[in-house]
Each structure stands twice: as structure tokens, then as C-alpha cells.
Amino acid sequence: MNTPRLLTRPLVRSLHPYVPGEQPKIKGLIKLNTNENPYPPSPRVLAAVKAAVDGRLRLYPNPSADGLREKLARLHGCRPDNLVVGNGSDELLALATRAFVEPRIVERGMRSASRSVVQYLTPSYSLYPVLAALHGAASNAVPFNPDFSLPSLPELKRERVWDFRAALTFITTPNAPGGRGYRTDELEALCRRMKGVVVLDEAYVDFAREHALRLALEHPHVLVSRTFSKAYSLCFQRIGYFVGHPELIEALHKIRDSYNVNGLGQIAAEATLEDLPYYRRNFKAILATREETSARLGGLGFQVLPSETNFILARPPRFSAEQWLEKLRARQILVRWFSAPEVRNDLRITIGTPAEMERLLRAAAAILGAKR
């Protein structure tokens, strides 16, 4: 028999997997590293989940989350066949790669290599390149402008790096980790030029000024990705969904697992939609905290980018961002640092409760005040 190493496909052996933010179990830790919502789910959501925990756990859940899709269809003014629900939106991003992109292995017989291209702007969600690599597809990573604005169409054309025929293009809007939001009309202008599928990843859109949902209903090649994780305090339950043309949606239904969405997650998400005012109050609180934290960090010498999300990207003074990560950690505050060259001088800080931000600001002031 071969060694276990050789039993694994070479592609998988050499894969650099996605690295999620840590979830350490440290008491008293202030966790500002994975953009979780600092507020709990609505009491009605907790009650609905608790009421569902009994002998019925032995049964399979609804295989296509029909109840949830009907409620989402009502919310978004579309039909259930415009919707597919996933085990978090991450699952759907992976399914999109498998449904719309040819692995490179068949490239030779194809008219155009674009059929094997997964395209995205950098820096953005670092899962996209992993999905491309895992599928055996090519990645086309095109840099944002330095201020995280979208390159203009003439710029994209002139640079000749953007592939208007890419099989699948991911656009994170608002952007992560930059936090910048994009206008629907500029996204639409870009989408209009694209020949392949475009996924607008709106994981943070509830904290933004605009959303682009109508593009998924008006353009047959555009999908909008949403999640209950960040804005709806439901990371634990893993619920995300795509909105789009029924034929693209049908392709994703075809290749997903039959029971891809767990039952308690479906119940929690449905109950969430019954109490949206509770969440809108939280969005408002998070936005207010975000603006105040940004201003006060600015006062301490941090350069903070304007954000339309529940996190900020901040360039710290005096010490390197990596040193700040350690210094804050020593004070029980966990933020996120990425080693990618465009953002290695920055910290990504999730907006927590006002009390948590107060602790962050005090820690930052103490670090700056510390002699040495």
C-alpha cells in the first residue's frame, strides 16, 4: 500500500487551506477578530431553537429549506426558485466554483482558458483563491486601487489583467478587509461587461449604505450572496443564501448535498426573519459604535479607513501592526492581522459592544503610553 501521503491527491497535498480566525477559549477575552456580532440573537430566535430540541432531532430536516426560502422570497420580492440556502454562504461560494468553473485539466480542449478562471480583486476574502486551487481552476487576482475603490472599466481594460470572460468573478461588497462600500450603479456597470457568472458577496451589506440585490434579479449572470452569520448573530448555525436567476440557482441545487442545511439552523433563520426590528436596532448601535471608535482611534494616531461594515481597518502608530496584535493579545484583546502585503501594516478590528471598544481604546492608549 502507498503511504497515506501518496494516497492523497497531489493537488490536495500542496493546497494552502483557508485559515479562519482563532476561536480561543480564554476567559475574559475580548474577541474582535472574526466579525461576529457582539449582540446575541433575538430572544425569539433562542426560544424557537430551544423549543425544537426534542425527539424530532432524529428526523431529517427539510431538504431544500422550503420554509426559509418562502420567507426570504417575501422579504426580497422574488420567488423561492430565485433562492438556494447553504451551510453558511461559504458552502455556496464553493458550490458556485464547482458549478460554473471548469477544472484546468480540461483546459486544453477548450476554446478559451477563461472557462477555468476564478477572478477576484485583492485584497478581499481569502477563501476565494483556496476555492479556485481546490477545484483545480486558475485564480486571477487583480489588485484594487490603493484606497480599495473599484478600478474603472477603462483601467481594467488598459491593464489587460482583468478577464471579462472569467467563468466566475467574486466581488466582496462592501469589501473585506477594507470595509469600503460600492455603489450599485458602479457594480452594475462592471457586471454588464462580464461574460461569466458574477457573485456579489454581500456578507456585510446590512451595515452598508446600499445593497445590490436587484442586480441578481435583473441580470441572469449575477448572483448575490448573503449570510445570517454577521449581521444576524448566527455564525454558529451556518446559514447563508444566494439570490439569482432560477437556472443558476437550479445548478447549485443539483450539486449540493441533499440535506445541506441543518434543521436547527433553518428554524433559527426563519425566526430571525420574524424579528427584523430587533436586528435593525443592533445595526444602528454597531454603526454608532463604529463611528465613535474610528474617531477615537484616530485621536490616538491610528489611520482608520471609512467603513460600511461591522469592522474597521486601522493602521496603528509607533509599532508594527504585527506587534500591536501581540500587545493587544497580552491585554486579552484579540484582533485580526493579515500578512498580505497590501494590508500587513493594518489591523482589522471587529466592532464590539461600547464596553468592549472602551477596553480596546484604553488598552491602545496604555500601549502608546508605555515607556520604551
Ligand X SMILES: *Cc1c(COP(=O)(O)O)cnc(C)c1O
Question: What is the contact surface with ligand X in residues (CB under 6 A)?
Answer: 88-90, 125, 172, 176, 201, 203, 227, 229-230, 235, 240
At closest approach, how far in Å is the CB of 240 from ligand X?
Answer: 4
Q: Identify which of residues 259 and 332 has a Cβ nearer to ligand X in the complex.
A: 259
Q: Identify which of residues 62 and 126 has a Cβ nearer to ligand X in the complex.
A: 126
At closest approach, how far in Å is the CB of 1 from ligand X?
Answer: 37
At closest approach, how far in Å is the CB of 318 from ligand X?
Answer: 29
Q: Identify which of residues 90 and 356 has a Cβ nearer to ligand X in the complex.
A: 90
128 neighbors 170 (Cβ within 8 angstroms): yes
At closest approach, how far in Å is the CB of 113 from ligand X?
Answer: 26
| Burial status of residue 229 (CB atoms within 10 A of its CB: 0-12, 13-18, 19 or more) | buried
Whether the link from the prior residue into 177 is cis, omega within 30° of 0, is: yes
Q: Identify which of residues 131 and 190 has a Cβ nearer to ligand X in the complex.
A: 131
80 neighbors 96 (Cβ within 8 angstroms): no
Residue nearest to ligand X (CB): 88
173 neighbors 209 (Cβ within 8 angstroms): no
34 neighbors 336 (Cβ within 8 angstroms): yes
Distance of CA 295 to the CA centre of its chain: 25
Q: Identify which of residues 114 and 173 has a Cβ nearer to ligand X in the complex.
A: 173
Q: Identify which of residues 21 and 306 has a Cβ nearer to ligand X in the complex.
A: 21
At closest approach, how far in Å is the CB of 125 from ligand X?
Answer: 4
Give exposure, 77-97, as e/b (b: 16+ Cβ within 10 Å).
ebebebbbbbbbbbbbbbbbb
At closest approach, how far in Å is the CB of 169 from ligand X?
Answer: 14
Q: Identify which of residues 86 and 316 has a Cβ nearer to ligand X in the complex.
A: 86
At closest approach, how far in Å is the CB of 172 from ligand X?
Answer: 5
At closest approach, how far in Å is the CB of 220 from ligand X?
Answer: 23
Q: Hey, what's the cell of 27?
A: 476567559
Q: Identify which of residues 82 and 225 has a Cβ nearer to ligand X in the complex.
A: 225
